[in-house]
């Protein structure tokens, strides 16, 4: 139990003990609302984000396996919702907050390339949609923030893959592509323990 919850009055503390079960139930409900064969069902899951935010703000003591299930659900919805800016902003923001709060309790692999492809397709190609500048800017901040929060969970070998992807951009330091390459390397290159071999060999 979190220290804040330990200070609660007995009656409230007893009720707080049910938060783990309530969180698990909310995760199941969000999973039931999401149908991978119907991408538009992502909109039906958005109402649960405010519920999960309440658990984060309340410092609820929830099970790591339920957090893991929610993170997997969030990434599944995020990657399936290309060109649905609102969905990606909402779920991407929740994933960032979950990582900030529970990163030490999670053990998972996050693939970097789908995040890179979303960034490229949305913000580096001439595919302007009906979204206004403010929404696109918010989406850009969300996707870059999500990459930054996810680097801890990039799997072994990701650093080598990322370096091979962006190294050609750095060959000519006088070309504009070098600035892009430096930016991508700075954003994506992980320094977690699983990728130490890339920096020490």
Mean pLDDT score of the chain: 88
Residue 85 has pLDDT above 80, yes or no: yes
Reported confidence tier of residue 201, pLDDT bands at 50, 70, 90: low
Q: Reduced to 3 states, what is the DSSP secondary structure of residue 96?
A: helix
The pLDDT of residue 124: 80
The pLDDT of residue 112: 97
Report the greatest alpha carbon distance in the chain. 67
The pLDDT of residue 5: 62
Residue 1 has pLDDT above 80, yes or no: no
Give me the percent of the chain exceeding a pLDDT of 90.
65
Nearest-5° angle of CA 153, CA 156, CA 159?
85
For residues 144-162, average pLDDT:
95
Q: How many Å apart are CA 79 and CA 156, to the nearest integer? A: 21
Q: Which long-range contacts (CB under 8 A, 24 or more apart) does 3-12 make?
A: 4/59, 5/59, 5/60, 5/61
Reported confidence tier of residue 3, pLDDT bands at 50, 70, 90: low
The pLDDT of residue 196: 67
Domain boundaries, the chain: 3-125
């Amino acid at each position: 139990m979190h220290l804040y919850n330990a200070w609660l009055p007995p009656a409230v503390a007893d009720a707080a003990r049910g938060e783990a079960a309530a969180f698990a139930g909310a995760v199941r409900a969000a999973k039931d609302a999401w149908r991978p064969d119907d991408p538009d069902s992502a909109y039906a899951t958005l109402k649960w984000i405010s519920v999960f935010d309440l658990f984060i703000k309340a410092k609820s003591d929830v099970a790591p396996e339920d957090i893991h299930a929610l993170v997997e659900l969030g990434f599944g919805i995020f990657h399936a919702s290309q060109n649905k800016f609102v969905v990606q902003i909402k779920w991407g923001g929740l994933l960032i907050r979950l990582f900030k709060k529970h990163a030490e309790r999670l053990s998972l692999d996050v693939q970097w390339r789908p995040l890179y492809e979303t960034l490229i397709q949305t913000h580096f190609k001439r595919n302007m949609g009906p979204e206004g500048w403010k929404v696109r800017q918010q989406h850009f901040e969300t996707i870059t923030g999500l990459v930054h929060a996810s680097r801890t969970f990039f799997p072994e070998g990701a650093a080598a893959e990322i370096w091979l992807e962006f190294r050609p951009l750095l060959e000519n330091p006088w070309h504009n592509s070098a600035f892009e390459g430096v930016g991508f390397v700075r954003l994506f290159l992980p320094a977690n323990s699983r990728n130490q071999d890339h920096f020490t060999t």
